[in-house]
A and B are shown apart, each in its own frame.
Chain A
Amino acid sequence: MKATTRYEGDVAVLVLSGRVMGGPDADAVGQRIRECLDRGSRKILVDVGEVTWVSSSGLGILIFAQARVVQAGGVMKLSRVTHRLRQIFMVTKLHQVFDSYETNEEALRSFAT
């Protein structure tokens, strides 16, 4: 998995790509989230459009990331959720937990409202 961060106004956009499956991926996402929070960002968008697959351990990473952001008084959203990831969200009911958007633009607009 690769994780990079860019900033769009007051929103930190964390872009994940490749497979998300726990272990070192958890450390990488945790570190990026921490950096965003340390920088003062409280609006974090996780772009998962380039993620090939997410294991059940990878779901745990996203849940943990959201918990950290919320604990810090922030909001985390997901964008570009693939058909494959959406399928897992639906069966695990995590679509009720994650605020997800089709596009980055849509997600960024939602932070403003």
Chain B
Amino acid sequence: MAEAWEPFEVRLRFPSRMEWLDLVDRVAAGIAAQLDLTQDETDAIANSVVEAGTNAIQHGHHYDARLPVDMIFEVRGDRLCVRVHDVGPGFDVAKVLSADPTSPESILAPRGRGIFIMKSLMDEVEFVMSPGSGTTAVLTKYHRAAR
């Protein structure tokens, strides 16, 4: 590997309230600065992580502030991996991924862009769901030398 990032990990646990996403946003930007990412890469990560947090709060926890959202920023070698966990039952991934919010019939829809934005801006997006243990969105951005 030509270049690599020094491994580190940042963990957040916050109540399911939207105002906490400001902190998430600042942490994402701070980590991007540590990794010497471009403005485009920094914005991509911050936009995606905020969307993942929004999904966890809105759809996973239905704004129930008693339920915490867990977020782990994990940097290892060639990648930044962000895991966003909620305790919700999950959703039909195939259905959501098959939707195209940029199509003429959907472009003016008020909702339905969150996962599309994450998929467009990150290198990999995966959702891990299992009954009883909630849903984890796994967002990955690779070091530009590894892409």
Interface set of A (CB-CB < 8 Å, partner B): 19, 21, 23, 52-53, 55-57, 59-61, 63-64, 67, 83-84, 87-88, 91-94, 96-97
Within 8 A of A (CB), among B119-138: 120-121
**Which residue of A is nearest B43, CB measured?**
A84
User: Can you list the 6 inter-chain pairs with the closest CB atoms, starting with the nearest?
Assistant: A60-B110, A91-B120, A56-B113, A56-B114, A93-B102, A84-B43
A92 contacts B50, C-beta separation under 8 Å:
no
Chain A residues with Cβ under 8 A from B54's Cβ? 21, 55-57
> How far does the alpha carbon of A59 sit from the alpha carbon of B51 in the complex, in Å?
12
A63 contacts B39, C-beta separation under 8 Å:
no
Chain A residues with Cβ under 8 A from B12's Cβ? none
Counting chain B residues whose Cβ lies within 8 A of the other chain, the interface size class is 20 to 34
> How far does the alpha carbon of A107 sit from the alpha carbon of B42 in the complex, in Å?
28
> How far does the alpha carbon of A84 sit from the alpha carbon of B21 in the complex, in Å?
16
B110 contacts A64, C-beta separation under 8 Å:
yes
B43 contacts A83, C-beta separation under 8 Å:
yes
B46 at the A interface (CB under 8 A): yes
Q: Is the interface of B mostly helix, strand, loop or mixed?
A: helix
B14 at the A interface (CB under 8 A): no
Contact among B50, B111, B116 for A53, CB-based, below 8 A: B50
> How far does the alpha carbon of A97 sit from the alpha carbon of B101 in the complex, in Å?
13
> How far does the alpha carbon of A52 sit from the alpha carbon of B21 in the complex, in Å?
11
B107 at the A interface (CB under 8 A): yes
B47 contacts A97, C-beta separation under 8 Å:
no
B116 CB, nearest partner CB in chain A, Å: 7
**Which residue of B is nearest A67, CB measured?**
B108
B72 at the A interface (CB under 8 A): no
> How far does the alpha carbon of A21 sit from the alpha carbon of B41 in the complex, in Å?
21
User: Known: A60-B111, A63-B110, A87-B43. Is A55-B51 also a contact (CB below 8 A)?
Assistant: yes
B31 CB, nearest partner CB in chain A, Å: 16
A46 CB, nearest partner CB in chain B, Å: 16
**Which residue of A is nearest B103, CB measured?**
A93
**Which residue of B is nearest A86, CB measured?**
B43
